[in-house]
Structure 1
Amino acid sequence: MGDDTNIRRRDVLTASGAGALALTAGCVTSTDSTATETDSGGDGNGGATATETDGDMSGEPYSIGMVNSLTGSLSAFGQRNERGMELALQSIEDAGNIRGRPLDIIVEDSESQSQAGVSAAQKLVNQDGVPFLIGAVGSGVSLAIYESVIQGTDVVQLSQNSTGTELTEFPGLLRMSPTGSTQSSALANIIADDGYDSVALAWVNNDYGQGLAETFRSEWDGDIAYDQPHDQGQSSYSSTVSAMANSGADAWLFITYQPEFTSMAQEAYSNGYEAQYYGADSVAGPDVLSSTPEGSLEGMKIATPSAAIDQENYQNFASEFEDAYGEAPTSWSAFAYDCVITAALSIATADEFTGAGLQATVRDVTRPEGEEVFTFAEAMDVLGEDGSASDIDYQGVSGPIDFDENGDPVGFLQILTVQDHEYVQTGTIEG
C-alpha cells in the first residue's frame, strides 16, 4: 500500500460497524464475517496449522483477534480501543514488524452484549483459528467469552477494558485494565473524606455493577440509604433518581454506563434534585458532558483507571494520539495499545505461533525479572535474534503490567473532578 496507508486505515476504522475488519500493520482489508476459513488456516482450537510454524511463512502476517464494542452502549470505549490499537500496529510496523512479519488483527463486534460477544469469539477462534484473542470491553462479555469459548483451550484471552471484580476468579482470563475493586475502595475513602456518612448507590444489573457494588459495601463504613440495581437501555430512569432523592442521602454513587448515567443526570437536573455525585470509570466521557446541562455535574468525582501519565513512553503515545486524532487519549486507548504490544512480544518470543506457545510467553514479557523496555522497538533490540520472554519487562504506556497469579495487572487510578463542565485530574492512587 502507498504512503496514504495510515489515513485510509483510520478512515475505515471510523466507518466500521457490526462486520469484521482485518487490520494489519501496513494494510487494512474488509473481511466477510460469515466466512468459514481464512488464509491463516485455523485448526479449530485457536492454533496455527503446521505451515505457520514450519518457517516457510516469511513475510506473511501473524493473525490474532479482537472482540470490541463497535456498537451498543459501550461503543465509546470501543472507538478508543480502535485508536489505541491502530497506533500500536503503527509502532510495530515502524520497528520492522515481528521479525519481518506483520501483525494482523481481525476485529469482530460484540455489540456490547454477551451473546453477540460469544458469537464473535467463536468466529475468531473456531473459524479464523486465532491463538490470541483481545477482548472484550464489558466484564460480562469478557467472562461469557472465556467460559463459552476460551476455557478448555490453549487460546490466550487478554481483555482490554474489563474491570469487573469477578474476573479475578478466572486466572486464565488476563486483563490489561486493573480490577474495579480498587475503584470501589477508593470511592469509599473519597466519599468518607468528603464528610458524608450516608450514600445512595445505583448500580447496573450485570456482573460489572454487581461486583463493584459488592466491593463498595464491604469498604464503606457509613449508611447506604438506597441500594438498587437498574437495567441497561431503559427509556427513563426517573424512578431511580426519585428514589435516590427520597432516600435522604446527600452523596449519590453511580456504578453504571454512560448512556444510563446521562439519562439519570438529565432527569435529576430537570426535577431539581441536588446531591454530590460520585462515579466509577464507566460514567465518564465527552458524550456525557455534551449531553448534560452546564453545571448539572459540577463537583462530581470519578475514580477511573489511569495510564502512566508521568512516563515518557506514555507522553510520546499521547502526542502521537493527538497528532492522529486531534484529541488527548484516555486510559482505555492506552490499555488497548498495550494489549497489542503485549501480544506482539508474546509472538516474537514464542517457540511457535500457537495458543500453547503464546501461553508460555504472554505473562513473562511483562515480568520485572527482565530488562525494562518501554517500546516495542526497544524490546526487539534487547531480544535480538534469540532472546527469550524472560529477557524483557515491557513497561506499558498504561504503566507496569506484571500480571499476577489471577491475571490482574498492577493498577493506577486517577481521580477526576468535574469543574466548569470539564474533567480535571485532581489526584492519583496506586491500586
Structure 2
Amino acid sequence: MTFRTKAAAAILAAATAGPVWAQAVTDDQINIGLVTDLSGPIALYGSESRNGMTTAVEEINAAGGIHGRKLNLLVEDHGYDPKKAVLGSQKLITRDGVFAIIGHLGTATNMAALPLLVESEVFNFMPQGASPGLYNPPSPFKVALAPSYFDMATATLQWAYDELSPSALCILYQDDDYGRESLAGVEAYAKAKGVELVEKTSYKRGATDFSSQMQRLSAAGCDLVYNASTLREFVGSVTEARKIGFNPTFLGTPANYAIQAPGLGGEAMEGVYSSTFIPIPYTNSEDPTVAEWAQEYKATYGEDPGLYSMYGYYSVKTFAAVAEAAGVNLTAESFAAAANATDLPPDAFGNPAFDVSEDNRLSNRQVRVTQINDGKWVTVSELLSPLDIE
C-alpha cells in the first residue's frame, strides 16, 4: 500500500470512527483552507499566498460576503513536506470542516494530499501546483489553474528554439514530482523535434550547493538549460554558473518566476527567462489598477506583492464568484454545477479567464515567457499553447 493510499484509508477510517465534523457552510460562514509552506524552502511563496488570500477574504467579507456568509480562512503549514501536507489537509477536513482547500502550494505536496480531498468531497480549488493529476482524471472536486509542467516545458522550449536558436539543450531539475514532470516534458520535446538532450542533472529539494551540477552542465557545452527549480535553488544554481564562467541561456518555470529572484541574485540573474500564467503585480506598474492594488498590499504587509500574492488573491476571488453563482443553498453539488456554468473573462490584473466543464477541469492552458531586465521581470512573448506531443 502506498503512502497516499494509506493516507486516504486513514482519513476514511477516521470518518467512519465518528469524529465530530465541523460544518463547512453555516448560515453566516463558509470555511475554506490553505495548505502552504510557512517554514520551509519556499516559505516566501507561502507567505505571499496567505497574504494574497487574506486580502481577498477581507475584501469579500467587507462587501457582505457570499449571500450573507463570510469567508473563514484556515491555514496549515506543510513546510514543503508531502507528509505534512497530508496531515494538514486531514486536519482541515476532519477537524475544521472546510468546504474547499484553495491555492495549496507545491506540486508534490498537492499530489500527496489530493486523494484525501477527492475521497472526502472537498474541493481542491486552483492549487498552486502543475501536474496532470490535479485535473485528470476529471473529478468535480478538482478545479485546476496551472497547465502541467510537461505542457509548459513544450510550449516554452518551442519559443526558445524559434527565438534563440540554441544548439545544446540540457536540464537541471528538482528530484520530485515537479522536477520529474518538467524532465518528461523536456525529453518529449527533444524526441518529437529531433533535438539531442545533451545532459540532465538533478538535485534534492532544499539543496544549497550546485557546484557539481553546474560543472557537469558546463562540461557538456550546454547553451540552453531548462531550469526546473524553485526560488532559492534557481538563484543558487544560476549564481554558481556565473561564478565558474558558465553562461548559458537559463529558461525556468513559474516555480522560479518570483519577484525576489532579481533581488536575491543581483546581476547574476539578469537575462534569465521564466514563464508564467499569473503576472507579478508591481507597485510601479504602468497599469493604474495593478499599481494601486500592489501599493495597498505593500502598505498592509510591509513588502511588495509577488506572484503568489496575486495567485492567492485571484483564486479566492474566483472561488467567491463561483460560490455566488451557486446560489443561497451552497452545497458540493451546487458549487460543482456553478463551476461548470461559470465563464469568467481575464480580469483587470491580467489573470487568465476561467472556464471548466465536467470533462475539462483545467481552466487555463497557456503561458507567457518573461525575462529579468534591469532587475524586473518583463513579458517577452505572446500567450503560448502546449505542443500536441506525448
Q: 1:156 aligns with which of 106, 115, 123?
A: 123
Deviation at 1:195, TM superposition (A): 1.2
Alignment: residue pair count: 352
Do the aligned residues in 1 keep the contact of 2:229 with 2:255 (CA within 8 Å)?
Answer: yes
The equivalent residue for 1:24 is none
Please say if residues 298 and 419 of structure 1, whose CA atoms lie closer than 8 Å, have aligned partners that are also in contact. yes
Equivalences for residues 291-330 of structure 1 within 5 A: 291-294=264-267, 296-307=268-279, 316=289, 318-325=291-298, 329-330=305-306
Q: Which amino acid counterpart does residue 124 of structure 2 have in structure 1?
A: Q
| SS of residue in 1 equivalent to 2:276 | strand
2:24–2:30 CA contact under 8 A, matched in 1: no
Partner of 2:144: 175
Match of 1:363 among 318, 327, 340: 340
**Equivalent of residue 401 in structure 1, options 333, 341, 354:** 354
CA contact 1:66–1:133 (8 Å) conserved in 2:
yes
How many Å separate the matches in 2 of 1:416 and 1:188?
13
Tell me the residue number matched to 2:97: 129
Q: 1:47, 1:430 → 2: CA distance?
A: 42
State the TM-score, normalizing by the size of structure 2: 0.80
Q: Given the alignment of the two structures, is residue 426 of structure 1 paired with residue 380 of structure 2, yes or no?
A: yes
Indicate yes or no: 2:312 matched with 1:343.
no
Q: Aligned ranges for residues 161-240 of structure 1 at < 5 Å?
A: 161-172=128-139, 173-193=142-162, 194-220=164-190, 221=193, 222-240=195-213
1:77 CA displacement: 1.8
| Alpha carbons of structure 1 residues 212 and 47: separation in structure 2 relative to 1, 3 Å | farther
Corresponding residue SS for 2:119: coil
Give deviations 1:221-280, integer Å, cap 9, x for gaps: 221111232211224121111110011122222011111222212222222222222111
| Separation in structure 1 between the aligned mates of residue 53 and residue 121 of structure 2, nearest angstrom | 23
CA contact (8 A) 2:258 2:307 kept: no
Structure 2 equivalent of residue 143 of structure 1: 111
How far did 1:108 drift?
A: 1.1
The answer to whether the Cα contact below 8 Å between 2:339 and 2:356 also exists between their aligned partners in 1 is no
* 2:368 alignment counterpart: 414
Q: Shift in Å at residue 424 of structure 1? A: 2.1
| Equivalent in the alignment of 1:262 | 235
Distance 1:212 1:315, change over 3 A: farther
CA RMSD of aligned residues (A): 2.9
Separation of aligned partners in 1, 2:297 and 2:24: 34
Q: Could you tell me how far apart the structure 2 residues matched to 1:419 and 1:88 are?
A: 30
Aligned residue for 2:120, secondary structure, equals coil
**8 Å CA contact retained: 1:418, 1:424:** yes
Structure 2 counterpart of 1:116, one-letter code: K
Using the alignment, how far apart are the partners of 1:195 and 1:86 within structure 2? 44
Q: Which runs of 5 or more residues in structure 2 are unaligned? A: 1-13, 282-286, 386-390
Distance 2:290 2:47 in 1: 17
Over the matched positions of the two proteins, sequence identity in percent amounts to 20
Residue 86 of structure 2 is aligned with which of 105, 118, 134? 118
Q: Is the 8 A contact 2:174 2:203 kept in 1?
A: yes
Distance 2:240 2:222 in 1: 17
Change (3 A) 1:139 1:89: same
- 2:73 counterpart (105, 112, 115): 105
Q: Does the C-alpha gap of structure 1 residues 423 and 307 become closer, same or farther in structure 2, counting only changes over 3 Å? A: closer
Q: Distance in 2 between matches of 1:297 and 1:331?
A: 17
- C-alpha displacement of 1:396: 8.5
Post-superposition CA distance 1:263-299 (Å, at most 9, x none): 21222222222222211121232433233242x2332
Give the whole-Å Cα distance in 2 for the aligned partners of 1:99 and 1:335. 24
Is the Cα–Cα contact under 8 Å of residues 350 and 360 in structure 1 kept in the other structure?
no
- How does the TM-score come out when normalised to structure 1? 0.73
| Cα distance in 2 between the residues matched to 1:103 and 1:142 | 22
1:334-362 deviations in Å (ceiling 9; x for gaps): 33223212332343325644434433333
Shift of 1:302: 1.3
Query: C-alpha distance in 2, partners of 1:103/1:315?
Result: 28
Name the SS of the counterpart of 1:77 in structure 2: helix
Structure 1: give runs of 5+ residues left out of the alignment. Answer: 1-35, 37-41, 375-394
Distance 1:354 1:415 in 2: 39
The 1:110–1:357 alpha-carbon spacing in structure 2 relative to 1, beyond 3 Å, is farther
CA contact (8 A) 2:262 2:372 kept: no
Distance of 1:170 and 1:307 partners within structure 2: 28
Q: Take 1:240 and 1:362, find their aligned partners in 2: how far apart are those partners? A: 44
Report what 1:92 is aligned to.
Answer: 60
Other-structure match for 2:38: 70
Bigger drift between 355-364 and 215-224 goes to 355-364
Higher strand share: 1
